[in-house]
Amino acid sequence: MNTKWTDIRHRWDKAKLTKKAAFWVAIGAIILTLIFGFTRGGWVTGGSARQMAATTSNDAVVARLTPICVAQFDQDPLKDQKLEELQAMTISSQRTTYVKAQGWATMPGEAQPDNKVAAACTQQLMLIGK
């Protein structure tokens, strides 16, 4: 039994890494790195990065335009009455349509109101008086 372990240890010490074995070890390391990078490392493809950038920029634009919508609401002489009408509505799509119809979500220089700005503005207006 002792000679068997000695023989294995002797062969292990004399073992040399061949080019073929080194190649497959390198391939395995590359594959493991890719798997880890894309699952746990936070790596993304170029397409995913562009999509995330577009979503983030759209959200930022809506966040910057929502206060303008609220300010346009504040300029309305009948804002108290219209706010009561808005708060009486129970369906969010009706509220968004109402805000768009009032022109509050139409930004200066634009012809049409923006739906996302109207939805965000509606959320802000619903917080008034609560």
pLDDT tens digits, 88-122: 999 999 999 999 999 999 998 999 999 999 999 99
Shared-domain flag, residues 76 and 120: yes
Asked if residue 28 is part of any domain, the answer here is: yes
Q: Which domain holds residue 68?
A: 61-126
pLDDT tens digits, 1-33: 566 767 877 777 777 778 888 899 999 999 999
Asked if residue 54 is part of any domain, the answer here is: no
CA distance 61 to 30: 40
pLDDT tens digits, 53-99: 999 999 999 999 999 999 999 999 999 999 999 999 999 999 999 99
At 100, which amino acid appears? K
Number of domains in the chain: 2
CA distance 29 to 40: 16
Shared-domain flag, residues 67 and 112: yes
DSSP letters spanning 41-91:
S----HHHHHHHHHHHHHHHHHHHHHHHHHHHHHT-TTHHHHHHHHHH---
pLDDT at position 2: 63
